[in-house]
Structure 1
Amino acid sequence: MIWFLLMISIATEVFATSMLNASQGFSRPLYGVAALALYAVSLGVLAKVMTGLPVGIVYAVWSGLGIVLISAIGWFFFKQKLDLPAFVGLAMIIGGVLVINLFSHSSVH
């Protein structure tokens, strides 16, 4: 259940960041308000997750997957360019998250 909550927190943070981009510097207030509300939900759920998992593990997974997902959304939906070094870096982030989850004894599965 705790890992499911972490995924919810990541998803709401990624959606919030997408809304923040769509707000165009808060010049489109509805998107800006949506971003703030989604960030609040994400952080609230993240705080709950941290009661069951170590903060370092939680933040590594939350931020790592968030970076990868928002980069993919930027690439697909906002037509932002990613070059080979960006893809290599994103692959390394995914690798780091996998190493933590598959091999580390720091997290509780």
Structure 2
Amino acid sequence: MGYLLVAAAIVAEVAATLGLRASHGLTRLAPSALVVVGYGTAFVLLAQALKSLNVGPVYAIWSGVGTVGAFLGGLLLFDEEVRLATVVGVALVVIGVAVMYLGGGLEH
């Protein structure tokens, strides 16, 4: 169950981050509401997941997958540029998350 909560927290966090981009500095109501609801939901779900999962690997997964999701969402929704350094950075995040997951033991 903890894994599903983390997955849902990632979806909520990515949606909130993309809403933040769409809100134009929190000046547009609907995207701003998405930001508040999305981040609030993400933190509640993450807190529930941490009842049974270890914080280090879970946070690495949440933030790493969220970073990749926000990157891909920026490409698809906002036509953001892709640069070699950005792709390398995303690859390093994925590698770092994998190392944290493999070395950290997820459940306690």
Is the shorter-chain TM-score for this pair beyond 0.5, marking a shared fold? yes
* Identical counterparts, % of pairs: 33
Across the two proteins, how many residue pairs are aligned to each other? 108
TM-score, normalised relative to structure 1: 0.90
Which of 1 and 2 has higher RCO (CA within 8 Å, sep 6+)? 2
The equivalent residue for 1:16 is: 16
Structure 1 residue ranges (4+ consecutive) displaced by more than 6 angstroms after TM superposition? none
C-alpha distance in structure 2 between counterparts of 1:84 and 1:108, whole Å: 36
The equivalent residue for 1:47 is: 47
- Structure 1 residue 106 displacement after superposition: 2.3
C-alpha distance in structure 2 between counterparts of 1:86 and 1:44, whole Å: 30
TM-score, normalised relative to structure 2: 0.91
**Structure 2 unpaired stretches of 5+:** none
C-alpha distance in structure 2 between counterparts of 1:24 and 1:93, whole Å: 27
Deviations 1:10-37 (A, max 9, x none): 0000001111111111111121012101
Q: Is the 8 A contact 2:6 2:62 kept in 1?
A: yes
RMSD: 1.5
